[in-house]
Structure 1
Amino acid sequence: MKKNKIQKTKWKAGNMVYPIPAAMVSCGDSERANIVTVGWTGTICTNPPMTYISLRPSRFSYDLIKTSGYFVINLTTKSLVRATDFCGVKSGRDIDKFQAMDLTVIRDEDTGCPMIGESPVSIVCKTKEIRELGSHHMFIADVMNVYIDEKYLDEKGKFHLNATDLIAYSHGSYLSLGEELGSFGYSICKTNKKDIKIQKGSKSFQANKIKDESTDNHKNRNKSQQKAKKKYKAESNTKKVETLKNTFSKKTVIRQKKKN
């Protein structure tokens, strides 16, 4: 055990569990749809799958969710960062956030609850209990359905979530996820540190897509080049034949003149 040479300053008590998700929670009914950005959300049980969000009662979405009993947690990406911030500072009482941010409304097949089409993952939730904790009330919910963007599925049906450019929120700032440092359980693998290879499935998925596209483009270029070569060769052969014919005809005419 190392001797304690690290100095720390005692800080005021508060929530410093960062980074956290910057989730866009959609809610409403068939007549209206709203979005509220939340940081207090996460998994609370694996089986059965359960999650939660915590909201201030003053938020416009609070009564919408309390009345309908449903909400959708939409994961956010780099391309959604502006909309994520906007939906956290603007109120649905004053503006249609879907329209303002040019977002697509998709409805859950079972509940009709609105989802954000541009989100790579949308988690449909049914409120099970509301706990009044203090400044925030916690909506404890069962996960009913999960919708994912099909373009991140590979040929084997594996979903590459880390290829979606997810973002997080930390101490007042939105951040993109950085380099993958390891996979679950890698620390106890029976290999030397030098031999440990980080499984970069999502990056490989992206690289393979780019590689496949490049390969296809290369193949198409090769086909075009081969066709052009064949065409050029055919034209060249035709010209050679015509040249030989003309030469042969000229020689024949000269010979006939000499005979005459």
Structure 2
Amino acid sequence: MTKISIGPRTLLYPHPDLIIGTYGPDGRPDAMAAAWGGICSSRPPAVAVSVQKVRQTYENLMREREFTISIPSVDYVKEADYFGIVSGRDTDKFAATGLSPVKAEQVNAPYVGEFPVVLECRLLQTVEVGVHTQFIGEILDVKVDESVLGPDGKPDIEKIRPFAYDSMRQEYYALGGVLAKAFSVGKSVRR
């Protein structure tokens, strides 16, 4: 198949929709939508999110060095999008959306109470990458709503119902069902 070059882009499928929770300089809970992020280490468990220096969240992260990542369900796509549209400098995003800021137990940061999955993180290091700073946080705890656990006690992605962001089209997409069993389906490939 022939591939056509579209040049260097911020293109990766899928981009997660992550909501970074921090406290502002006045102690007010703040949240920011970020699609530039993902797991970056297994041991210690760690996640990386990239934030531009002009963002209030950047200042909060540099000052507090602790944060949460809330993973919204498709039921909250409007509110999650709003977290990426307005600045925490002049807007109380929690009050505007009607969502609940909950103080994390392991770190000094808020999370979104209505979102089904939360990662509580302490900053390990920062990496300057162009106009962004990548914040690498050790995951100290993961909190999951009981309602999204499967019969095996593990989080069930079909109950969590997260969504993905398409940076090229600037659209959100729901995820589909199970495609195959990981670390198993590939065993049928013959050498």
TM-score normalised by L of structure 2: 0.90
Aligned residues: 186
Match of 2:82 in 1: 86
* In the alignment, structure 1 residue 34 sits paired with structure 2 residue 30: yes
Q: Give matches, 1:15-164, under 5 Å.
A: 15-28=10-23, 31-154=27-150, 156-164=152-160
Deviation at 1:154?
4.3
2:117–2:144 CA contact under 8 A, matched in 1: yes
For residues 134 and 27 of structure 2, the distance between their equivalents in structure 1, rounded to whole angstroms, comes to 25
User: How far apart in 1 are the matches of 2:157 and 2:8?
Assistant: 34
- Paired residue type of 2:44: P
**How far, CA to CA, are the matches of 2:178 and 2:65 in structure 1?**
37
Q: Secondary structure at the match of 1:137?
A: strand
Q: Secondary structure at the match of 1:122?
A: strand
Shifted more, 59-68 versus 174-183: the winner is 174-183
User: Counterpart of 1:166?
Assistant: 162
5 Å matches for 1:240-255? none
Residues 18 and 154 of structure 1: CA distance in aligned 2, closer, same or farther (over 3 Å)? closer
Gaps of 5+ in 1: 1-5, 191-260
Provide structure 2 residue ranges, at least 5 long, that are not aligned to the other structure: none
Separation in 2, partners of 1:69, 1:31 = 14
Of 49-58 and 170-179, the range deviating more from structure 2: 170-179
Give, in whole Å, the separation in 1 of the partners of 2:147 and 2:35. Answer: 27
Amino acid aligned to 1:7: T
Q: Which residue of 2 aligns with 1:223?
A: none
Cα deviation 1:122-163 (Å, max 9, x = unaligned)? 001111111111110111111111111011234542332332
Conservation of the 8 A alpha-carbon contact between 2:23 and 2:110? yes
1: CA distance, partners of 2:6 / 2:74: 32
Per the alignment, residue 183 of structure 1 pairs with 181
CA distance in 1: counterparts of 2:125 and 2:187, whole angstroms: 41
Equivalence for 1:248: none
**2:50 is matched by which residue type in structure 1?**
S
What residue in structure 2 maps to residue 193 of structure 1?
Answer: none
Q: CA deviation at 1:189?
A: 5.2
Distance 1:152 1:132 in 2: 36
Which structure dedicates a bigger proportion of its chain to strand?
2
Q: Distance in 2 between matches of 1:59 and 1:27?
A: 12
- Aligned-pair identity in percent equals 27
Which one-letter code corresponds to 1:76 in the other structure?
P
Q: 2:63 is paired with a residue of what secondary structure?
A: helix
